[in-house]
Structures are given as C-alpha cells and as structure tokens.
C-alpha cells in the first residue's frame, strides 16, 4: 500500500475499525474512505456494488460486523448470522468485481470447535462441533474466510483472512445486554464503586480461561499483514493473539483492582460459562514477523480511562 492509496475501512466506527483507522492515520495514509451504516447499509447488495463502482477503493479492511457477548448471541441468533453473512458477502464480491488489489477480512476465534486442543492451531478449523452459544456468528465468520479462499483460488484475488482472539479497547461497547466480558466488567465495577455497592455479580463459575487482545494491537497486526504479506504467503488464514490467557476469575480480580472497587465478587453459576478455554496458537503469526506489544493490564487501564472520560 502506498500512503496515497485509496483505502476503504468498512466499519470504521466500531471497536476494530476505529483502531485500524487510527493506525492508518498514524502511519501517514492520506486517502482513507469511510461510510457510516446510515450512509451505506452493507447488507444492501446494490448499494455496496454502487459504492465500489463509484469510489474504486484499492485496499479494503473488512471490519464491519454485528458482534456481541453470550447474551446478545443467544438473544439475536438470526440477526447475527444474517447481518454478518450479508455484509461480508456483499463487500467481498464487490471487491472482486471492482478489482480491489487487496482485502483483509476480520474473523473471530469463535470459529474453532468448542473442545479444540489448546492452544488452537489454524488446522483445528472444522474438526468438531462449535460452541452452541455463538454458533450462528461462528458459521458466518467461517463462511467469510472460506469465501476469501475460494475467490483467491478461482479468481486470483489477494484476500487475507485473520482470526483475532477476544478483543477489547477504546471504542468498545459497554451496554450490559450486548457487550463482551471486559467492557461489561469495567462498567459493573465502576458503577459499583460509584454507588458503593456491596458486591458485583459475574456470570458463570469464573473458571473458563480466555485470551484477550487490545484492539490497537489487532489494528497494528492488520496493517502489518496488508503491507507485508500476500494471500499466497498466508496460505489460508492466520490467528492473531497474545499467546497468553487467564481465568475469568483472575480477569475480574484484575479489573476490580484497576477500578479500585473494594466490595465482593459473586459468581452466578446459573449463567453459562461458554467454551472452557480459548487460547490461540500464534506460531504462524510469529513466523510472519509480528507480535503483540500492549499488556492486558496496560490495555485495560487505557480502556477504563476512555470509558470514564467518554462513556460514563
């Protein structure tokens, strides 16, 4: 990518898209193209194809998606599969039609089987049943990745797919009904501190282990891969993570400490745990020359400061 290349960031207001946009700006890219969902409904095939014909982007970061935690995935399974299938199908196909030079598709680590060997290698894909709580979302993401592979094989496109681990960071969603675990816990502990509540409830047993990646690290990896790696070199797709995990109990205690809440943590075991463990094998990513640089504590501190000044 040249610094004056036309670069379209789909989903630039979301957690991942906004981080990619910031990273591109910081690197000196001057011809960034964006559209809000009200300006361009990516589920509308005709509108998407017209946009690509008119703007002719050279490079595309496909970060637009419908995302959420366990509650959101259980409540809106039809929206999760339809919205994501429609968005990625329209953008990937339009990118091919308009001869986009390179596209990067953002998937998710939930593509792997519920009981995949840990840490999860790329070759584990489609070797077992998915986690039921987010199966519609996972199937959509698998489809997007396979679509990129199919277009590369049949049409010679250069479409990359990356599968990040659990993400958090600046611009996250703090709605307790739809958010992921880190923003939900930040909000719960902060509000409990402000209201002097005796305890904070955390879903599940606290035993599942999770890996977390700061969104700005994912953005850095995404730009690095677009600048330095082709689909042929990638040979399928690549995991993006830190290679380290911790239990939800340990995560809750860390956020409690960062927020400065002194009450009790209560685990609601009537609520589901989800997958027992999700840790990505990042050997392939390391061999491609990239590694994460922002620690979990540092990332949560930055996210909490942003939440206090921007959201709360």
* Predicted pLDDT at 70: 77
Per-residue confidence band for 107, with pLDDT thresholds at 50, 70 and 90: very high
Residue 126 has pLDDT above 90, yes or no: yes
* 179 appears as a binding residue in the annotation: no
pLDDT tens digits, 69-78:
777 888 999 9
Q: Which long-range contacts (CB under 8 A, 24 or more apart) does 82-88 make?
A: 82/43, 83/43, 84/137, 84/140, 84/141, 84/144, 85/140, 85/143, 85/144, 86/42, 86/43, 86/45, 87/10, 87/42, 87/43, 87/62, 88/62, 88/140, 88/143, 88/144, 88/147
* Predicted pLDDT at 21: 98
* 104 appears as a binding residue in the annotation: no
| Tokens 């489809």 found at | 143
137 is catalytic: yes
| pLDDT mean over 99-107 | 98
Per-residue confidence band for 176, with pLDDT thresholds at 50, 70 and 90: confident
* Predicted pLDDT at 249: 97
* 24 appears as a binding residue in the annotation: no
Per-residue confidence band for 275, with pLDDT thresholds at 50, 70 and 90: confident
* Predicted pLDDT at 68: 80
* Predicted pLDDT at 277: 87
Residue 161 has pLDDT above 90, yes or no: yes
Residue extents of the structural domains in the chain: 7-172+212-243+279-294
Residue 45 has pLDDT above 80, yes or no: yes
* 15 appears as a binding residue in the annotation: yes
| CATH architecture of the region 7-172+212-243+279-294 | 3-Layer(aba) Sandwich (3.40)
Per-residue confidence band for 163, with pLDDT thresholds at 50, 70 and 90: very high
Catalytic residue (choose from 8, 112, 137, 151): 137
- Mean pLDDT, rounded, of the chain: 95
Nearest-CA neighbor of 206 among 264, 258, 154?
A: 264
- Token output for 5: 């290349």
* 254 appears as a binding residue in the annotation: no
Residue 279 has pLDDT above 80, yes or no: yes
pLDDT tens digits, 284-305:
999 999 999 999 999 999 999 9
pTM: 0.94
Residue 274 has pLDDT above 90, yes or no: no
Residue 89 has pLDDT above 90, yes or no: yes
């Amino acid at each position: 990518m040249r610094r004056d290349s036309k670069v379209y960031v789909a989903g630039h207001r979301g957690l991942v898209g906004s981080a990619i946009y910031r990273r591109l700006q910081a690197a000196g890219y001057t011809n960034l193209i964006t559209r809000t969902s009200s300006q361009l409904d990516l589920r509308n095939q005709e509108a998407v194809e017209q946009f690509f014909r008119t703007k002719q982007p050279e490079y595309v970061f496909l970060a637009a998606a419908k995302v959420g935690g366990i509650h959101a995935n259980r409540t809106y399974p039809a929206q999760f599969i339809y919205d994501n299938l429609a968005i990625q199908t329209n953008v990937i196909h339009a990118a091919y039609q308009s001869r986009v030079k390179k596209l990067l598709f953002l998937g998710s680590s939930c593509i792997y089987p519920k009981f995949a060997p840990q840490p999860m290698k790329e070759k584990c894909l489609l070797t077992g049943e998915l986690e039921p709580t987010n199966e519609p979302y996972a199937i959509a993401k698998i489809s997007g990745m396979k679509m990129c592979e199919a277009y590369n094989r049949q049409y010679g496109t250069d479409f990359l797919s990356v599968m990040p681990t659990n993400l958090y960071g600046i611009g996250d969603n703090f709605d307790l009904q739809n958010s992921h675990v880190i923003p939900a816990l930040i909000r719960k502990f902060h509000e409990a501190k402000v209201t002097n509540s005796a305890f904070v409830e955390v879903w599940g047993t606290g035993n599942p282990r999770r890996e977390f990646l700061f969104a700005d690290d994912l953005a850095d990896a995404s730009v690095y891969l677009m600048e330095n790696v082709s689909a042929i070199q990638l040979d399928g797709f690549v995991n993006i993570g830190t290679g380290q995990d911790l239990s939800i109990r340990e995560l809750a205690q860390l956020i409690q400490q960062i927020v400065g809440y002194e009450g009790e943590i209560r685990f609601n075991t009537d609520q589901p745990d989800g997958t027992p463990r999700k840790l990505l094998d990042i050997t392939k990513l390391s061999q491609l020359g990239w590694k994460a640089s922002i620690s979990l504590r540092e990332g949560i501190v930055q996210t909490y400061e942003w939440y206090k000044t921007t959201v709360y």
